[in-house]
Amino acid sequence: MLLCHGFTGSAKSMIGWAKHLEAAGFRVQLPCLPGHGTSWQELNETTWIDWYDCADDAFATLQTQCDQVFLAGLSMGAALCLRLAQQHGPSVSGLALVNPVINISDPRMRALPILRLALPSLGGIVNDIAKPGQDEWGYQRLPLRALYSQTFLWADVRRNLGRVDQPLLVYRAIHDHVVDPSSVRLIKAGVRSSDQSYVELERSYHVATLDYDAEDIFDGSVAFFRRLTKEADGTAE
């Protein structure tokens, strides 16, 4: 099981999910993506290729250890999971995505190519969480060069959505203040998965893995992955 956290966030946002999956018997890899867990300035020196290569290395490790490899991602981490599914095809046995981002409709994004040359960062998007007392250990600043690079990841994933045919479970918070609904609409329209489910979260914000609906996400994903494991083993009822 490979888990991928979101942009400017940290592995902290996924630790609860990882522990839940481990308790259910899954082997888990939860890498801290390059430029994360250090400083926003360091993140600004990385690109989406660096983040993807890190996730791909973790995926390769799991392939040597497991008969099946599942993917789970939050926000940008979900985009990385989609690209892994596009690149690795049947080697990916299923995906669970939370508030995936492969597009942002905000017209201010059009200024990003120029803005990132003039400003290194803007105010951050960290801790969009409804539940009090939660902290994803993310950056208070939004590094614009890194954000600009992320848009190329989104474009690459969008172009190849038709290559995603693995079982898919998507959670979307209806009160997400970071990611608009356009990404989920694009995923629904573009993937070829015959087994796909979409669940709306009514109590959580963007970092839903640390929010009120976290346990529902954890339990739902375990049931989803267990079903796929049984189907692969031929033991499904």
Active-site residues, by number, are 75, 176, 206
Q: DSSP readout, 68-83? A: SEEEEEETHHHHHHHH
In angstroms, rounded to a whole number, what is the distance separating the alpha carbons of residues 72 and 145? 26
In angstroms, rounded to a whole number, what is the distance separating the alpha carbons of residues 221 and 193? 17
Could you identify the residue written with the tokens 């599914």?
85
- Beta partners for residue 95, in sequence order: 71, 168
* CA nearest to 194, candidates 225, 164, 159, 236: 164
Locate 132 and state its tokens.
Answer: 């009090």
